[in-house]
Chains A and B, each alone.
Chain A
């Protein structure tokens, strides 16, 4: 390469030439002087010189410009050879891209969820702790009463500060009215010092401070970025406005950043940790707070627990009733705690292991491909070595070649990861990861994938390089190209294929299980028709409408209007959404022996319920309009109820009593007459059989909240704005909440997990299978390349082409069989672990296994086809002559 070479280098090259040829000339002259013939003198001198190119190479190697130059030449050479062998190059890049891509996707989830759960300043310092009953370790208390919290805050030596929160996770609905509309969102109370403790800056406005909660200060609150964006259209003028939340005016002072989701709510109301305030403020009386603290720098979690243990025992002497007899304090990083209970998070570790394995397999495949080529290129390498390429140069050449592959593979892998994350993110179940976690490609993830690329380069490049160097170079030039390769290497290659087949079988079986689970859940007959049903709740604000009669009246007015809304076919009150029944109660049937487990679920609804949910009437009649408006004490029961409690009797006309109503003064000791029996519905989630259930008039009870279902002739969620408006037209102080289609609810809470796990595992299993294809293809290709000579001889001796093809296919199957067996046995053995790991996995069945085995064998045959055809095309004369 003349390009890129400085004149200094060119001069150095000329001088090297001239210095060495001077030596040669002198030697020849001396040889002649010693009496040799001119020809002999030259011959002797040249022999002595052992390859002038090698000497030159070694001298060149002393200068870095030359090293750079030679690496550059290696690159050009590598690119040229890779371009010349397109099929090889594409396969190798595909294998690496799949490996690096899947590792990158999982690492981004791993990083986002496990390593960077929270966006707090020095999030590692945020620590939670519990009081654990030593006699019953499952009995652990994470909450402290507010006076307890104040005491801990004052007496510990390990925390910079402690934060307390209560009313989170949906426990504090905040209702506010504005311009004829009423809205509700979730809030919680957070101690005023917490905002500084977490150390996150607000998007706009300011954080609440302890001044905001001093006696006489105007109440303030902050909201989350999601609510600000979705409800306030990111309007920054809302900051500074006053909102009447549950009847109390509060000023909105700031918007928190998107990754602040403490207690999974949209608004945070600061409260004071001042002992006087706690003792006197009615809002704070008797409250217990979830507590976390920021550790002082250098304090470990264990040290914190030890210190808190002392504080807790001190406090236990003040307030012995709230502590177990023997207890201890354990502490845990909040980030670990947040991930602990969440479904998918625990899957990340095995998945991370699986994708690293996939990547290693991808590398092994590329190494195999390179090896196959190295065999074919053995002569070229031997020639290069003879022409003066040192071992380091040859190694460098191989590494440069695999670096080129890994670099392209890494870029393609990142692209795959980008697409993968984009596709997978909307499918992630809302409860799979902490809400604060963000899964994205960021600089750390890129660094990881670069690291993976470097690792792949080394793994892929080293083995063929070492292999090539072990070849007896001279024998490559003189003898046949198919020198005897070490048997151990062949074994290593085969075991790689066995490992990848086994892993991919396990992945396929898991994916098959998840697919079956998913399909089973999705196709399960719920007993209702969840399509085109809208569910929503009406929330009556405290302090505005008080009397139950008034609420009932409002609700009836709303119902009348809702029935007339275009697109709405039928409506009913309800207490629950399928596949959940209403509240459970114990049951008393006159004249029958009352068993402990005599229980039933209750659904408080109106006459439209069968029409909305499409349940069938089996006997008698359903509730009528007059039953509902007249608040009559009649009940309709489901089939399970009738079978269980009136197996040999006609249930119609029987009377029953529901224990839960004994607590309601107006309904104490009320007996209900059974007027009808309806078909069963799934009312205990998806997996359990339907439980007894009774349908009563919703007018029996009045609460601050009423839910309803409506069968629609259009997409249910498209009606939400209109239904909302109907509610406000009825009463501007009513907020509509939890509006969702029943389908959407089922998807979000019951199908999403298995769907996500099925898609994730399915993708990895597909990648695993592709890698198996590439792996078998490369090993078989290699075997055929090695045996070209042998195949030629066989053919020359009369072997038919079909026999050659069969031979190759047989070898391929022999390669797959042990992996298949190990994979099947491994899946069977890990069945219990898998069932535990995956959401509601269905038990293993023969169909899944059979399918996986057949799929793997077919894949193996496909991978063997090309090498087999190549073997069959071997021209006996060519094969023998070329050696």
Chain B
């Protein structure tokens, strides 16, 4: 199992940073209450199919985030009238996301800087 829980699509390995899936989930959930399936498709869409979260890692991660009180959940009806579990960001989750984004930006900025200079 790759550390991020992402399945690599063959050409691009996306498992270079631990905890990325956590951050992506938090980011997607931050846009508004959303159920697991939608999280998976949204991550895939937004990342232009680079990231394809697998159920095998998505649900354990969701449950872990919920247990850590970064996410809250609620059973609601979807547009199709089916009951589904909707996840929302808690205050703690929001804070964590801000931290993660900041860290990420700093890190990726630094990496970009190095890569550009190295050319």
* Chain A interface residues toward B at CB < 8 A: 15, 18-20, 22-23, 25-27, 30, 48-52, 54-55, 58-59, 61-63
Contact = CB atoms under 8 A, between A and B. Distances in A.
Given A22-B35, A26-B37, A55-B55, A62 B60 contact: yes
A59 B59 contact: yes
Which among B54, B59, B75, B84 has the highest number of chain A CB atoms within 10 Å?
B59
Contacts of B37: 22-23, 26-27
Would you call the interface of chain B mostly helix, strand, loop, or mixed? helix
B67 A62 contact: yes
Nearest to B75: A15
B63 interface: yes
A62 B64 contact: yes
B64 A25 contact: no
Contacts of B82: 22, 25
Nearest to B54: A50
A433 to B, nearest CB: 58
Contacts of A52: 55
Which among B36, B55, B83, B85 has the highest number of chain A CB atoms within 10 Å?
B55
Interface string B46-83: 00000000111001100110010000000100000011
Nearest to A60: B63
A48 B54 contact: yes
A22 B84 contact: yes
A43 to B, nearest CB: 15
B112 to A, nearest CB: 34
Contacts of B54: 48, 50
B60 A55 contact: yes
Contacts, number: 53
Contact of A50 (B41, B55, B75, B84): B55
Q: Which 6 pairs from chain A and chain B are nearest by CB?
A: A58-B60, A26-B37, A59-B63, A23-B37, A19-B85, A50-B56
A51 B56 CA distance: 8
B84 A19 contact: yes
14 contacts: A15-B85, A18-B83, A19-B36, A20-B55, A20-B59, A22-B37, A23-B59, A26-B37, A50-B54, A52-B55, A55-B60, A59-B60, A62-B63, A62-B64
A698 B59 CA distance: 102
Nearest to A30: B41
Contact-residue bracket for chain B: 10 to 19
Nearest to A58: B60
Nearest to B41: A30
Contacts of A20: 55, 59
A648 to B, nearest CB: 101
B9 to A, nearest CB: 13
A19 to B, nearest CB: 5
A20 B41 CA distance: 15
Contacts of A19: 35-36, 59, 84-85
A20 B63 CA distance: 12
A22 to B, nearest CB: 5
B59 A55 contact: yes
Which among A19, A25, A55, A58 has the highest number of chain B CB atoms within 10 Å?
A19
B84 A48 contact: no
Contacts of B60: 55, 58-59, 61-62
B55 A23 contact: yes
A30 B85 CA distance: 19
A63 B67 contact: yes
Which among A20, A23, A54 has the highest number of chain B CB atoms within 10 Å?
A23
Interface in B69-104: 75, 82-85
A129 B83 CA distance: 85
Contacts of A22: 35-37, 82-85
Nearest to A26: B37
A763 B56 CA distance: 56
A62 B40 CA distance: 21
B111 to A, nearest CB: 31
A9 to B, nearest CB: 14
Contacts of B84: 19, 22
Nearest to B80: A29
B1 to A, nearest CB: 10
A58 B64 CA distance: 10
A719 B59 CA distance: 88
Contacts of B75: 15
Nearest to A56: B59
A819 B56 CA distance: 51
A59 B63 CA distance: 6
Interface in B7-25: none
Contacts of A18: 83, 85
Given A19-B85, A22-B85, A58-B59, 15 more contacts: A15-B85, A18-B83, A18-B85, A19-B35, A19-B36, A19-B59, A20-B59, A22-B37, A22-B82, A23-B55, A48-B54, A50-B55, A55-B59, A59-B63, A62-B67
Contact of B55 (A48, A61, A63): A48
A13 to B, nearest CB: 13
Contacts of B64: 62
Nearest to A29: B80
A129 B67 CA distance: 65
Nearest to B60: A58
A25 B83 CA distance: 12
Contacts of A30: 41
A676 B67 CA distance: 103
Nearest to B82: A22
A49 B59 CA distance: 11
B11 to A, nearest CB: 19
A79 B99 CA distance: 49
B56 A54 contact: yes
Which among A15, A26, A30, A49 has the highest number of chain B CB atoms within 10 Å?
A26
A59 B75 CA distance: 17
